[in-house]
Chains A and B, each alone.
Chain A
Amino acid sequence: LAKTTQPISMDSYEGQEVNITCSHNNIATNDYITWYQQFPSQGPRFIIQGYKTKVTNEVASLFIPADRKSSTLSLPRVSLSDTAVYYCLVALRGAGSYQLTFGKGTKLSVIP
């Protein structure tokens, strides 16, 4: 089974747009990509999910290119409260089965 790859950490100033990319291969055509936010001492919190092109909700956008080998979480105008670890979750498929696999996470630090 293949794995996912995310940058280990990112820094951003308040008010900027932040883009975090997750690389993943071997995902099926209709499989969703889901992103979570996790604060210290808390469980992961759902942010957004999609399986093609672009999805937008009140907190983030998700961009998925046609080849689906990666996805990018976009956080508009981050604030200090967005400092957290961000994970992508995909179904990595092998022969006849799949495993829901988290990336290792990207630690986002928002600087005043």
Chain B
Amino acid sequence: EAGVAQSPRYKIIEKRQSVAFWCNPISGHATLYWYQQILGQGPKLLIQFQNNGVVDDSQLPKDRFSAERLKGVDSTLKIQPAKLEDSAVYLCASSLGTDAALGNTIYFGEGSWLTVV
């Protein structure tokens, strides 16, 4: 079974530029997550989709971050304009069911590493 696919793997941009990350979840998984992981910290949830609807985006900096999941499959996370503090790994994850709290395991991709200079 193929895992969660993400691209690009690495990206270096200057501050105030824009960047987009793409994610393809495990086939059939209804729920898709974007996490931000700053070096030395645990992942922090940015946004959670159930099919193509947003379940939780309370920690997404909406002035500069946006995400969409058209057709309920692939997703794109965009940052515009980027700041130095956005340097992090952006992890996409997916789960079969809709309630990870009740045992629907979340599976992660390898992440997209962003460096803002």
A44 touching B108, Cβ below 8 Å: yes
A81 interface residue per 8 A CB criterion: no
Contacts of A44 in B (CB 8 A): 43, 91, 108
Q: Which interface class (under 10, 10 to 19, 20 to 34, 35 or more) fits B? A: 20 to 34
Contacts of A13 in B (CB 8 A): none
Q: How far is the CB of A98 from chain B (nearest CB, A)?
A: 6
A28 touching B101, Cβ below 8 Å: yes
Contacts of B56 in A (CB 8 A): 97, 99
Q: A100-B45, A102-B43, A104-B42 are in contact. Are A43 and B109 (CB under 8 A)?
A: yes
Closest to B100 in A: A100
Q: Which A26-40 residues have a C-beta within 8 angstroms of B?
A: 28, 30-32, 34, 36
Question: Bound complex: CA of A36 vs CA of B37, how far in Å?
Answer: 14
B100 touching A42, Cβ below 8 Å: no
A104 touching B41, Cβ below 8 Å: yes
Closest to B113 in A: A41
Closest to A103 in B: B42
B65 interface residue per 8 A CB criterion: no
B-contact 0/1 string along A68-99, CB 8 Å cutoff: 00000000000000000001011100000111
- What 3 A-B pairs have minimum CB-CB distances, sorted nearest first? A91-B101, A102-B42, A43-B108
| B interface with A by C-beta (< 8 Å) | 4, 33, 41-45, 48, 56, 58-59, 91, 93, 100-103, 105-111, 113
| A interface with B by C-beta (< 8 Å) | 28, 30-32, 34, 36, 41-46, 49, 51, 87, 89-91, 97-105
Given A43-B109, A43-B111, A89-B106, 5 more contacts at CB 8 Å?
Answer: A32-B101, A43-B110, A46-B105, A91-B101, A105-B42
